[in-house]
Amino acid sequence: MLEIKGLRSGYARGADILKGIDLNVTAGERVAIMGRNGMGKTLLAKTIMGLVKPSAGDIRLEGAPIGAMPAHKISNLGVAYVPQGREIFGDFTILENLRMGVIGKPKLGLEGLEKIYDWFPILRERQSQRAGTMSGGQMQQLAIARALIGRPKLLLLDEPSEGIQPNIVHEIAEKLSAISATEGLTVIVIEQNFEMVEILAERVAFLENGLITGESPTSRLVAEPELITQNMGL
Amino acid sequence: MTLFGLALDAMNYTSVLLLVCIGLVVIFGLMQVINLAHGEFFLLGAYTVLVAQGVGIPFWLAVPMAFVAVAIVGLLCDAVILRFIYDRPVDTILATWGLSLAIRQAIVIVFGAQSQQVAAPLTTPVELFGVSYSSYRLVVMLIAVLVALAVFLVLYRTSIGLAARAAMANRQMAQCLGINMRRLDRSTFSVGAGLAGLSGAVMAPLMSVDPQMGMGFVLPAFLSILVGGVGSPVGAIWGSVVIGGSTTLVSAWWTPVIAQIVVFLLAIVTIRFLPSGLSGLRKR
Amino acid sequence: MMARLLPTLAVWAVLAMLPLLLGEWELAMFGQLLIYGIVAISLAFIWGQGGLVSFGQALFFGAGAYAMSLTAKGMLPGIPASPWLGLLFAIAAGAIFGALVGGALFFGKGLRTAYFGIITIAAAVIAERVTTNWRFIGGFNGLLDVPPLPLPGGLDSADPLAGYLLVLGFALLAFLFLLAVERSPYGTVLRGIRCDERRIMSLGFFVPIWKVVALALSGGVAGLAGGLFATQFNFVSPAVIGLALSTEILIWAAVGGKGVLMAAFIGAIVVKYMEGYLSETIGNYWLLVTGIAFIVVVVLFPQGLLGRLFKLPTPYRLRGD
């Protein structure tokens, strides 16, 4: 459902950091992208999302080219983005943050709210509080909920485990894989933390020096953990 | 002048200042652009009324016309100039500066540099608590407060307002959530311009209408948004109150020149110690 | 390498030869154009190198012009009426005003470009109103009969040839001075601040001081231009300190090219020269045309029209090879 071919991209013209990414993700699949810092993982997410224009290559979502589209159109085609650092609106209430998840989508209202609250009960409890007052793990849940309420086909998560306690990481990972399974949601998660990947992803792609250098089913990495360090060039 | 009359003057000035500031603040909040052509949008509003009166259109019809006309001008500026340089904030400031020069000069060419008068629709003063006060000034105050209130309702009570505030807080994230920033920028710039035009229209009978009036009126507005906090709509209220109030009072006690100096120093001291203006106080 | 230097050298050579080509009247006019050139490079320096867009550069120019006039006319108590001392005071006044504006703004936390723009606009507007209303410095009419600079051999700067050469000398001096600063390690830090203030801060530079000094240097050069203006035009008025002139200076620097001193210098000379001819024929349309030209340059040629032509080679110190 997402096909990336020969994708090149960079923050400055003539300085590509991604140097020809090839990646295929099928519908309903959950894929992790692992790699060291500075290898271009976040840039890959931003390029898929339309925040950075590719300098070459092709990105297709369900066959439609989205490489040249602005972010809001890509969002409306069903790609939801949970960026690194969560980027929730700290001055807004939790409910307002959730409303932001559907505000750009004329066909959607808050009808999905109850389901979201069932998945993340803490958000129901605190719905009229300012989002900036929550803990890191709660903010992450809000960021994910804000993405899900827009009924995406593809969820793009960038370092969702960053700065969150291990038990919450488990909880979020399990919840996400359950949601993906019941809703048929495709997930791409960018991670360094294998605990998250182990639960959430079925397949791992390794990104190094701007290229996908290897792929492996998660189960194989669980059995042979040394493959992870090898593939990440550690 | 009695103290009460002075207070009315201050409120009158503050309310119109607020109307001008809201446009500036929302445009800045969204695009990080100080619109230096805002004074000329004010100017265009005043001249719209002048022209409309010249061809016999009643004043109260001319005021909304000024809003629409200047909003269209704003839309044009966006389409012809600003959309090419949205990603270069400093250049956008410069371009609006050039725009202000060009509009002002176009007015000089069409209408001449001399000052002209717009007749006020209401001339009989009213008695208020024993003070005789211009009824037109009261109406201006009422209009300004109502329009400002409407803008705040839109900002804080509607989906469009939520989207605009989200975009002000985090432009990129708002875009990722499906908000078309180009459309939002364009409509904001246009409405902001329209509000400046509306302010110019209602102020026209109270000022001498000449090509320099815009800069004169908008300079305090610039200072107000510095004092209030450039990106904060609520800050615009505090800023206009401080600048509008102190300008009126100091002008009455000393001279307008001293008032201008005092207000300028006030603004510098404020941003020196509160870089996000008065609205930064709350968050500390 | 030399080829990159040629346009700049050619400009100075042509300017030095102008006295052979032009009559007295035109020479005097070119002398005045050079003064505008000096103030344009003062803005190009602070804008192109430090990234600070001053919308009120005439404030420093005007401060210099008034300091010059007051001193040369002997209006300052206890200070002898000396034009040369006046020129010194003009430079000092510009530098002090620059340092004051900088000091008031840059030591606060997190100042944005937009603030600097607004404050400089407001400062220029207020300076013009204050000078208009201050009787001691001549009020609306300004100060007339500012004496010329006395020169050796019984000459003074009112003599067209001597005046022109004097102004040319100062222009060259100002140009070389700012160029030297620009190409020194200090200039490198300044450009660093323009690109990423926080990073420079984290490298251990106390950024506010650097910016204040840069603004003081720019103000000093603008003050010099103001002082020369007062003595060559023999008068000052509130118009030299206000927004109208500030805007003109901004346009010269932008049209020529803010990043390159010589480009801004020529920008001022060419635009002002054209104004002399065209404003008579097209009158009010001149300002409209410059306003539109300014917008076009800002949108389409952010480096100005002449920036490429006069760009000098990178200092040896900063070359990779």
C148 three-class SS? coil
Q: Residue A162 and residue A169: Cα distance in Å, rounded?
A: 9
Do the domain assignments include residue C270? no
Taking CB atoms and an 8 Å limit, are C113 and B89 in contact across chains?
A: yes
Q: How confident is the model at residue A234 (pLDDT cuts 50, 70, 90)?
A: low
- Residue B84's closest chain C neighbor by CA? C299
Total-model pTM = 0.88
Contacts of B224 (CB under 8 A, 6+ apart): B17, B21, B236, B239, B240, B242, B243, B244
Taking CB atoms and an 8 Å limit, are A104 and B179 in contact across chains?
A: yes
- Residue C126 is inside which H or E element, if any? helix C113-133
Q: What is the pLDDT of residue C110?
A: 55
Do the domain assignments include residue B81? yes
Substitution target in B80, B90, B224, B265 with the highest count of C β-carbons within 10 Å is: B90
The answer to whether residues B97 and C121 touch, using CB atoms and an 8 Å cutoff, is no
Q: What is the pLDDT of residue B192?
A: 93
Q: Residue A216 and residue C42: Cα distance in Å, rounded?
A: 62
Do the domain assignments include residue B145? yes
Taking CB atoms and an 8 Å limit, are A75 and B175 in contact across chains?
A: yes
Q: Which two tokens stand for residue C113?
A: 């470009």
Q: Provide mean pLDDT across the span B90-118.
A: 92
Residue B113 belongs to what domain range? 3-210
A211 three-class SS? strand
**CA separation, residue C312 to residues C6, C15, C191, C305, C307 (Å):** 9, 19, 16, 15, 10
Q: What is the pLDDT of residue B1?
A: 58
The answer to whether residues C248 and C40 touch, using CB atoms and an 8 Å cutoff, is no
Taking CB atoms and an 8 Å limit, are C247 and B267 in contact across chains?
A: no
Partner residue facing B162 (CB), from A51, A71, A100: A100
Report chain C's terminal Cα–Cα distance, integer Å: 14
Q: Which two tokens stand for residue A50?
A: 């339309």
Q: Residue C128 and residue C132: Cα distance in Å, rounded?
A: 6
**CA separation, residue B196 to residues A90, A229, B66, B167, C213 (Å):** 31, 61, 9, 22, 38
Residue B116's Cβ-count burial label (10 Å; 0-12, 13-18, 19+) is middle
Do the domain assignments include residue C279? no
Q: At what angle do helices C207-233 and C58-72 cross, to 10 degrees?
A: 50
Do the domain assignments include residue C234? yes
Which residues in A176-185 are b (16+ Cβ under 10 Å) and which e? bbebbeeeeb
CA distance B209 to chain C (A): 19
Substitution target in B158, B168, B170, B176 with the highest count of A β-carbons within 10 Å is: B176
Q: Which residues of A touch B172 (CB under 8 A)?
A: 51, 71, 87
pLDDT, tens only, A81-134: 999 988 999 999 999 999 999 988 888 888 889 999 999 999 999 999 999 999
Substitution target in B97, B218, B223, B273 with the highest count of C β-carbons within 10 Å is: B97
CA distance A230 to chain B (A): 34
Q: What is the pLDDT of residue B284?
A: 43
Q: In this structure, which amino acid lies at residue A211? A: L
Nearest residue to C85 (alpha-carbon basis) of C150, C143, C135? C150
Q: In this structure, which amino acid lies at residue C114? A: A
| Stretch 48-67 of chain C: residues touching chain B, C-beta under 8 Å | 51, 53, 55
Q: Which domains does chain A have, with CATH numbers?
A: 27-52+70-231 (3.40.50.300)
Residues in chain A: 234
Rounded to the nearest angstrom, the gap between the alpha carbon of residue B227 and the centroid of all alpha carbons in its chain is: 15
Residue A58's Cβ-count burial label (10 Å; 0-12, 13-18, 19+) is middle
Residue C293's Cβ-count burial label (10 Å; 0-12, 13-18, 19+) is middle
CA distance B124 to chain C (A): 34
Do the domain assignments include residue B223? no
Nearest residue to C157 (alpha-carbon basis) of C231, C102, C75, C223? C231
A·B CB contacts under 8 A: 64
Q: Which residues of A touch B179 (CB under 8 A)?
A: 72, 103-104
Strand ranges inside chain C, DSSP E = none
CA distance B93 to chain A (A): 24
Chain B contacts to A (CB-CB under 8 A): 159, 162-163, 165-166, 169-170, 172-182
A27 three-class SS? coil
Number of domains in chain B: 1
Q: Is the pLDDT of residue B138 over 50?
A: yes
CA distance C185 to chain B (A): 26
The one-character DSSP state at B84 is G
Q: Is the pLDDT of residue B254 over 70?
A: yes
- Kindly report the number of other CB atoms within 10 A of residue B129's CB atom: 9
Contacts of C205 (CB under 8 A, 6+ apart): C189, C192, C193
Q: Residue C259 and residue C191: Cα distance in Å, rounded?
A: 10
> How many helices (H) and strands (E) in chain A?
10, 10
Nearest residue to B147 (alpha-carbon basis) of B196, B91, B111? B196
Q: Residue C260 and residue C270: Cα distance in Å, rounded?
A: 16
Taking CB atoms and an 8 Å limit, are C122 and B271 in contact across chains?
A: no
Taking CB atoms and an 8 Å limit, are A72 and B172 in contact across chains?
A: no
Q: Residue B27 and residue C67: Cα distance in Å, rounded?
A: 40
Q: Residue B169 and residue A202: Cα distance in Å, rounded?
A: 36
- Residue A45's closest chain B neighbor by CA? B176
Q: Residue B74 and residue B107: Cα distance in Å, rounded?
A: 16
Chains in contact with A via at least 3 Cβ–Cβ pairs below 8 Å:
B
Q: Is B51 on the interface with C (CB under 8 A)?
A: no
Partner residue facing A103 (CB), from B162, B172, B181: B162
Q: Is C125 on the interface with B (CB under 8 A)?
A: yes
Q: Residue B189 and residue B196: Cα distance in Å, rounded?
A: 11
Do the domain assignments include residue C293? no
Do the domain assignments include residue C265? no
Number of domains in chain C: 1
Q: What are phi and psi of A5, to 5 degrees?
A: -130, 125
Chains in contact with C via at least 3 Cβ–Cβ pairs below 8 Å:
B
Taking CB atoms and an 8 Å limit, are A51 and B172 in contact across chains?
A: yes
Taking CB atoms and an 8 Å limit, are B261 and C126 in contact across chains?
A: yes
pLDDT in tens, chain C (321 residues): 678 888 999 999 999 999 999 888 889 999 999 999 999 999 999 999 988 889 999 999 999 999 999 999 888 888 888 889 999 999 999 999 999 988 888 876 556 667 888 888 888 888 988 899 888 888 888 898 888 888 888 888 888 899 999 999 999 999 999 999 999 999 888 898 888 888 888 888 888 888 999 999 999 999 999 999 999 999 899 999 988 899 999 999 999 999 999 999 999 999 999 988 887 788 788 889 889 999 999 999 988 999 888 888 888 777 765
Q: Is B88 on the interface with C (CB under 8 A)?
A: yes
The answer to whether residues C126 and B259 touch, using CB atoms and an 8 Å cutoff, is no
Substitution target in C299, C300, C301, C303 with the highest count of B β-carbons within 10 Å is: C299
Residue C69 belongs to what domain range? 31-242
pLDDT, tens only, A4-22: 999 999 888 888 899 999 9
Q: What is the pLDDT of residue B282?
A: 61
Q: Which residues pair with A207 in a beta bridge?
A: A212
B·C CB contacts under 8 A: 113
CA distance C124 to chain B (A): 11
Substitution target in A103, A146, A151 with the highest count of B β-carbons within 10 Å is: A103
pLDDT, tens only, B208-241: 999 999 988 889 999 998 888 877 888 889 999 9
Q: What angle do CA B63, B65, B66 make, to 5 degrees?
A: 65
Do the domain assignments include residue B129? yes
The percent of residues above 70 in pLDDT, for chain A, comes to 99
Q: In this structure, which amino acid lies at residue C133? A: N
Q: Which two tokens stand for residue B235?
A: 């800050």
Do the domain assignments include residue B123? yes
The answer to whether residues C179 and C313 touch, using CB atoms and an 8 Å cutoff, is no
In B89-232, which residue ranges form alpha helices assigned H by DSSP? Answer: 89-111, 135-157, 159-169, 171-176, 181-203, 213-228
Q: Residue A140 and residue A153: Cα distance in Å, rounded?
A: 19
Q: What is the pLDDT of residue A11?
A: 86
A64-65 β-sheet, strand order: A18-25, A2-9, A56-61, A64-65
Mean pLDDT of chain B: 89
Q: Which residues of C touch B101 (CB under 8 A)?
A: 247, 287, 290-291, 294
Strand ranges inside C33-101, DSSP E = none
Q: Which residues of C touch B262 (CB under 8 A)?
A: none
Nearest residue to B77 (alpha-carbon basis) of B162, B196, B215, B169? B196
Do the domain assignments include residue B162? yes
Q: Which residues of A touch B165 (CB under 8 A)?
A: 92
